[in-house]
Structure 1
């Protein structure tokens, strides 16, 4: 049985990846320090004989006994609320954590896939964003702790590939959604759905003309799996190219949830990108991948998941620190 290490295993994407690799017949070692992950996301796996959990911070030395064929590095805060609240940890997991895991991959002769992000493009000056675009990033702005952590992560990964001959893969993840997202983590879909469930008006930052493209988690996991198993070493965008403005998306959520809320507008967060849409030409050509789940279906599944959350989870507020970074 082949063995895979998945860091960030208790997070949104990490937990779905654990499920996928167990389904594919792997022995999965999940690693997380629960700084943003949640034990309930992987609790259904604790009795599975093909799953092992290790509570550990990857910014410290990582030791795994036995063979490893694959490593997937998904340990990182990924929402604005998280990386604005814990900026130093965000930088450390992108730098020290990635260095530790690349070193482990070298020792184990394992193939490693690094989770990068569309945020490496910053507030883009080209649209849609293709992998050969270098980006427009403010390194010293509030979001720079996340953007630059990921850009460094890509750079050191390619250095290990070129200098040590390490088998590396890099996925640039665009907005992804689905069950197990934290309801109040500052991202668009859980924020809107949480407000709808609480009977609050939906908050749109700026004038709402900024765009996003949302990929359902099953499609994202499929793309990641295909990339890991491919021979392609350079970054690949995985996301849904169907673009929508935030203003129109808020109206879509109100219609989906059957609520009567209004849309209210607040100042735009600093360095918030105005456009976000992946060019997935490479993913189609190299991985034979494109998203299959349409937004209507994915949003219905996600909303049904959020409806099962407890009142404590529904009313937990995490927005105070995030709103301190909004332009007045």
Structure 2
């Protein structure tokens, strides 16, 4: 049975990862400081004998007993609302926090998985985005607290790979949605659904021509899990996301239809440095781990809308 450490364990993706590894012959130690995480995401695990939770800020030095087979660093405010509300904490968790977790992984010769993001590509000048693309990021813009923090985390992770021969892998996660997202976290899926459920106008920034792709959480989990456990992927950086691209304007219509809402669309100015296109090239994931999303947008949205109906 593998032993796994997961930071950000009470967050959207982190809590689902705890479930995924527990369902696959693992003992899981979860860490979170609840700056954006929610105890309700992991409360169902408190009686699981293979799950241990530690409330801890990973930006501070801390010690853990025993060794781990896998260390997955997923602690970080990930939505624009959260990382703009907590800019210092965001910068710290992907610098100090990353170093602390890399040290833990190195000391126990663990495999280290860093949660990176499509945001490292910034407002991309190539489309779709490939892993070899260096990005187009404004290092002094308001989004840089997240973009540059993740870029620094990637650099730190690769230093440990080169200097200490640590087995590291970096999934670059594109827009993901599903149950356990926060209703008002600033990302398009929960924003649109929460507004549509109460017949409020859906907020569209700019003219809505910017594009996004949407990957359902269960599909993403399969990709992260496979990237984490398959041997021979040392040092790999891999895009994980859907290649089905939607204009935000059109996606708003999809949500209104699925929710059967009376909402209209409301247009506001485009935020600073908001990317115009965002869609991954997943050729590497397809060839190296045999992964691609399988859940249709229709099914994924149904599950997500049902979840939001139950919590609203």
Provide the residue aligned with 1:145 in structure 2: 145
The aligned counterpart of 1:20 is 20
* Partner residue, 1:209: 209
1:294 aligns to 2:296 (yes or no): yes
For 1:179 and 1:50, locate their aligned partners in 2 and report how far apart those are by CA, in whole Å.
23
**Aligned partners of 1:62 and 1:101 also within 8 Å:** no
1:238 aligns with 2:235: no
Q: What is the aligned partner in structure 2 of residue 175 from structure 1?
A: 175
Distance in 2, Cα, partners of 1:152 & 1:229: 24
Residue in 2 aligned with 1:81? 81
- 1:300 Cα deviation (Å)? 0.4
Structure 1 residue aligned with 2:109 = 109
* Contact persistence 1:62–1:104 (CA under 8 A): no
Q: Does 1:57 align with 2:57?
A: yes
Tell me if the contact between 1:203 and 1:266 (Cα under 8 Å) persists in the aligned partners: yes
Q: Residue in 2 aligned with 1:322?
A: none
Q: How many angstroms does 1:62 deviate by?
A: 2.9
Q: Distance in 1 between matches of 2:198 and 2:42?
A: 27
Shift of residue 260, structure 1, vs aligned partner: 1.4
Residue ranges of structure 1 left out of the alignment (5+ in a row): 311-328
Distance 1:171 1:13 in 2: 13
Residue 41 of structure 1 is matched in structure 2 by 41
Unaligned segments of structure 2, at least 5 residues: none
Partner Cα separation in structure 2 for residue 234 and residue 23 of structure 1: 25
Partner of 1:161, secondary structure, is helix
CA RMSD of aligned residues (A): 0.6
TM-score normalised by length of structure 1: 0.94
Write the mapping of 1:172-321 to structure 2, written as runs, cut at 5 A: 172-230=172-230, 231-232=232-233, 233-310=235-312
Task: Name the structure 1 match of 2:71.
Answer: 71
Q: What does the per-residue CA deviation read over 1:202-234, in whole Å, with 9 as the maximum and x for residues that have no partner?
A: 110000000000000000000001111232222
Offset of residue 136 of structure 1: 0.1
**How far apart are residue 168 of structure 1 and its match?**
0.5
Q: By how many angstroms is 1:197 displaced? A: 1.4
* Structure 2 match to 1:131: 131
Q: Secondary structure at the match of 2:267?
A: strand
Q: Distance in 1 between matches of 2:106 and 2:193?
A: 43
Contact 1:170/1:236 (8 A) holds in 2: yes
1:135 counterpart SS class: coil
| Aligned partner of residue 235 in structure 1, secondary structure | strand
